[in-house]
Amino acid sequence: MTLRLAEVTAANFDAAIDLKVHPAQEHLVAPVVKSLAEAYVYPGIAWPRLIFDGDRLVGFLMAFLDIDFAGDGTGTDIRSGLWRLNIAAGEQGRGYGRFAVEAVAAEIRRRGGNRLTATWHSGEDGPERFYLRLGFRLTGEMSGDQVVGELTLA
């Protein structure tokens, strides 16, 4: 396994937007094309990356960096974290999601941060167990219809 992140480019754009999660998970995460549109609209905040195992595209992540999480304009709750995580159908359970979270954690640390925030849909078919196994703790907050979890970075 040779895992790496890559920027989305003209050369890999079509492969990126063709990446699909398992059909049973489609209601849990936005498609890559929506994430890339949001990255275009929020430059400097969105950090989209493709996840490759060797030359094989296996996933997509998008971090958010230094946002006013409360959205109240006070700037007192600045956070960075994982905005989207799409692991291709048939590629789950191989460590790619863990790699993605670790990569976002490394980027946040590189920028001086000490916590990683993520949001997800709760429920039986949601990714909550995955995040809790990685050490996230529920904050008790909601972001829209998603629960908020945090991982303290050493």
Give 136-145 pLDDT, tens digit per residue: 999 999 999 9
For residues 148 and 141, the answer to whether their CB atoms sit within 8 Å is yes
49: closest CA among 146, 39, 116, 41? 39
* Model confidence at 13: pLDDT above 80: yes
User: 74-121, pLDDT tens digit by residue?
Assistant: 989 999 999 999 999 999 999 999 999 999 999 999 999 999 999 999
143: closest CA among 67, 47, 31? 67
Position 154 scores a pLDDT of: 80
Distance CA 9, CA 2 (A): 20
For 65, how many CA atoms within 13 A lie in the half-sphere containing its CB? 20
User: 31-43, pLDDT tens digit by residue?
Assistant: 999 999 999 999 9
